[in-house]
Structure 1
Amino acid sequence: MEFGAPRRKHRMSLTPMIDVVFLLLVFFMLASQFGTPAQVSLNLGGGASSGYTGPARLIRVGDEALQLNGTARSEGDILEALPGLMDGPDDMIILRAGEDVPLQGVIEVMEWLGTEGYSNLVLVE
């Protein structure tokens, strides 16, 4: 009794596995972050016993507007008024975020103050 020619064994194709690995690679590359997070140096207010006796330099960051010492002002007005209240760019500027103000708004104010040379920023509640 003859059963015919023996069949040749087929090797399993690696193409589907390579396709899956490639798709996973692309997925994780697109899902990851390539930039390094920026760090912001920040001094936290120490409370009522901080010993600060200079002129008031409080910038309140609101939803729509900024206030310097309780008066609503634009960014340009604040930058014009700050040198008159300060001895130098190393003097302390106090930042206070308003109710429900996103953190990004405070960071943006800190960044434009930093680009203008003001580095001693204190964040209070």
Structure 2
Amino acid sequence: MSLHGFDLGPRRRARRMSLTPMIDVVFLLLIFFMLASRFGMDAVLPIAGGAEGAASDWQGAPRLVDIAPAELTLNGAVIAPEALPLALAPLLPEASSPVILRPRAGADLQRLVDVMDLLTAAGLTNLILIE
């Protein structure tokens, strides 16, 4: 068969498009999103902000816990983390009394969360976080 004197040779069959590259891309995206997503529940820590504007009736002695990178202080006195709940007990008129937590410069978030977990485990749930 010739067209204007040119022989085009035998007619080639149309190739079917391969789906393999598309499947590879889908699997790569699936793996990416599985690795990028977070599984599990986020922990929720109940805290009250210090700047809510509402006045509250403060009862009892001051209860200020400073959280520094290397130490904890309760009302200015250095204290071991394990002794903190026992030292707070005589300062609380009742179990629901607030305790103020103040992270200091350089203290990371994990340290703050560890102290909050320690106090929550001891039954102190009214934690106020200030700057």
TM-score, length-normalised on structure 1?
Answer: 0.84
2:22 paired residue number: 17
Give matches, 1:10-49, under 5 Å: 10-46=15-51
Alpha-carbon RMSD across the aligned residues, in angstroms, is 2.1
Q: Which ranges of structure 1 fall in alignment gaps of 5 or more residues? A: none
Calculate the TM-score normalised by the size of structure 2: 0.81
Aligned length: 124
Which structure's CA Rg is the greater one?
Answer: 2
Deviation at 1:5, TM superposition (A): 4.9
Contact 2:60 2:93 in 1 (8 A): no
> Cα offset for 1:6?
3.6
Q: What is the 5 A alignment of 1:70-85? A: 70-85=76-91
C-alpha distance in 2, partners of 1:52/1:73?
23
Once the two structures are TM-superposed, the CA of residue 117 in structure 1 deviates from its matched residue by 0.9
Structure 2: any 5+ residue segments left out of the alignment? none
Question: Aligned to 2:108, which of 88, 102, 107?
Answer: 102
Aligned partners of 1:91, 1:76: CA distance in 2, in Å? 20
Q: Given the alignment of the two structures, is residue 113 of structure 1 paired with residue 124 of structure 2, yes or no?
A: no
Q: Is the 8 A contact 2:71 2:79 kept in 1?
A: yes
Distance 1:84-1:53 versus aligned 2 partners, 3 A rule: closer
2: distance between equivalents of 1:39 and 1:79? 21
Give, in angstroms, the shift of residue 96 of structure 1: 1.0
1:52 aligns with 2:58: yes
